[in-house]
């Protein structure tokens, strides 16, 4: 049983609509419906009467709603208390971030910042896009480090959550090479021979962005999804073994391209992303304030050509 199933069920009980709750939970309607079904299978009873509209709960569903809401309340309270209890109050900063950034961007960025700021005790909370923003907005961390793109907005009040741009990255389609160095797979495919693709889960930031990119090209790319995973590193390993094309952050594949184990497929179907850090104005600890002032000053210095 997963916590997100309980969160999904409580959302459905409130909205009484599978489509509205799917939007609220940042998943496709089919994925949301599957998760409700998995919860019902785990409990062994139907929770939702699907023969009515708006959606209504069964008697078992109405009873279980109270349990689900109380379990979630207790878990959130305990999580907040545990996190605040084990964090040093003065010297540690907590960042909520995406898995890909925690591996490919954060270590190098932190080293560069420490050269001017001094040692930083950092704690990372890594999750998917929706949950990393939620954890940050709920006050469980000091900063949010995320990719941004105007087609996948970060819905935060800029007055309460100001941000700074830290850099850029690019999603590029890559493939394992043939013996002569050319890509094993090329774009576009054909109706008879679609290109096998390795995809992110649709609720992830990179999954949303690739989905938009592919949708804008219509069906002219002729793709066939053969594998899904939320983690860019997992897709990279599948691409290296020659299973298909994956859109990966350029920062994550530079070494593989240099070593010749991956090759770029088609630069025309890449997409630019920016990297931003957000802070909460509710967090006013001295270490947070000093680091934010340092980052603002650093961002204001023009780059040397």
Give me the DSSP letters along 85-134: HHS-TTTEEEEEEEHHHHHHTHHHHHHHHHHHH---EEEEEEE-HHHHHH
Q: What was the pLDDT predicted at 88?
A: 47
Q: What was the pLDDT predicted at 301?
A: 58
Q: What was the pLDDT predicted at 90?
A: 57
Q: What was the pLDDT predicted at 86?
A: 53
Q: What was the pLDDT predicted at 249?
A: 95
Q: How far apart are CA 215 and CA 248, in angstroms?
A: 17
Domains of the chain, CATH where assigned: 3-84 (1.10.10.10), 86-168+274-300 (3.40.190.10), 169-272 (3.40.190.10)
Task: Record the pTM.
Answer: 0.68
| Residue 299 burial (C-beta neighbours within 10 Å; 0-12, 13-18, 19+) | exposed
pLDDT along the chain (305 residues), means of 10: 87 89 86 90 88 85 87 77 56 88 92 91 87 85 93 88 94 94 90 92 88 78 89 92 94 92 88 94 85 89 47
Q: What was the pLDDT predicted at 87?
A: 47
Q: Are strands 245-249 and 163-175 parallel, antiparallel or unpaired?
A: antiparallel
């Amino acid at each position: 049983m997963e916590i997100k199933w309980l969160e999904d069920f409580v959302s459905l009980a409130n909205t009484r609509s599978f489509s509205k709750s799917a939007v609220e939970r940042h998943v496709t309607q089919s994925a949301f419906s599957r998760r409700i079904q998995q919860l019902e299978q785990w409990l062994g009873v139907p929770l939702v009467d699907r023969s009515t509209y708006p959606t209504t709960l069964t008697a078992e569903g109405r009873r279980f709603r109270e349990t689900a809401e109380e379990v979630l309340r207790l878990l959130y309270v305990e999580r907040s208390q545990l996190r605040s209890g084990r964090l040093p109050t003065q010297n540690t900063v907590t960042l909520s971030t995406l898995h890909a950034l925690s591996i490919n961007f954060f270590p190098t960025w932190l080293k560069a910042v420490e050269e001017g700021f001094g040692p930083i005790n950092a704690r990372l909370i890594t999750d998917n896009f929706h949950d990393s923003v939620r954890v940050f907005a709920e006050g469980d961390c000091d900063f949010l480090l995320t990719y941004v793109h105007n087609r996948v907005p970060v819905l935060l009040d800029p007055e309460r959550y100001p941000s700074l741009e830290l850099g850029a990255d690019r999603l590029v389609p890559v493939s394992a090479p043939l013996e002569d160095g050319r890509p094993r797979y090329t774009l576009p495919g054909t109706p008879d021979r679609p290109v096998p693709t390795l995809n992110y889960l649709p609720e992830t930031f990179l999954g949303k962005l690739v989905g938009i990119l592919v949708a804008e090209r219509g069906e002219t790319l002729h793709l066939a999804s053969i594998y899904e995973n939320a983690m860019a590193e997992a897709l990279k390993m599948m691409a290296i073994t020659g299973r298909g094309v994956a859109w990966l952050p350029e920062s994550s594949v530079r070494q593989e391209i240099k070593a010749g184990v991956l090759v770029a497929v088609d630069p025309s179907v890449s997409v630019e992303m920016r990297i931003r850090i957000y802070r909460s104005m509710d967090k006013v600890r001295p270490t947070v304030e000093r680091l934010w002032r340092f980052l603002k000053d650093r961002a204001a210095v023009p780059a040397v050509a």
